[in-house]
Amino acid sequence: MEADTASRPDQSATQDEAACEVKSVPKKMTIEVAYAEPDTQVIIPLTVDEGTTLEQAIRLSGVLESFPDIDLTVNKVGVFGKLGKLNQVLRERDRVEIYRKLIADPKAVRKQRAAEGKKMRKGGSTTD
């Protein structure tokens, strides 16, 4: 019997250590990283640890290697169309988006069209 009681404290210590290890394993979540150019669009699904930031997700996705023109000091980033910061922590099912500069300013295009006297019809076609 003494052997039994002597082994019990060791067992409970081992169980406590195992419980601590289980708690320290980060939970996983699914996200996407999206980037588009005029002729190419990519959406990269990822499984990451909870607490992952926008920047970490972008780097993990490999999109920077596929599109070397992306510069995170210049390009704006966001989640589902809302601007964000590189250190923003992501949530389950977030879609990280990397934005690029527009080729044409939509306001300027509308002003130019108005100056030329073109009117918009239903369906988006123009008339003179």
> Greater confidence, 46 or 23?
46
Q: What is the CA radius of gyration of the chain?
A: 26
In terms of Cβ atoms closer than 10 Å to its own Cβ (0-12, 13-18, 19+), residue 34 is middle
Q: What average pLDDT score do residues 114-123 get?
A: 67
Dihedrals phi, psi of 86, to nearest 5 degrees: -60, -30
Residues with Cβ within 8 Å of residue 116, at least 6 apart in sequence: none
pLDDT at position 38, please? 86
> Model-level pTM?
0.64
Q: What per-residue string of b and e applies to 76-95 under the rule 16 or more CB within 10 Å gives b? A: ebbbeeeebeeebebeeebe
The DSSP code for 93 is T
**Among 3.10.20.280, 1.20.120.530, 1.10.3720.10, 3.40.50.300, what is the CATH number of 28-98?**
3.10.20.280
> Greater confidence, 6 or 26?
26
Q: For the chain, what are the domain ranges?
A: 28-98
pLDDT at position 22, please? 57
pLDDT at position 42, please? 97
Q: What is the pLDDT of residues 37-87, one digit of tens each?
A: 989 999 999 999 999 999 999 999 999 999 999 999 999 999 999 999 999
Pick from 88, 91, 83, 100: nearest CA to 55: 88
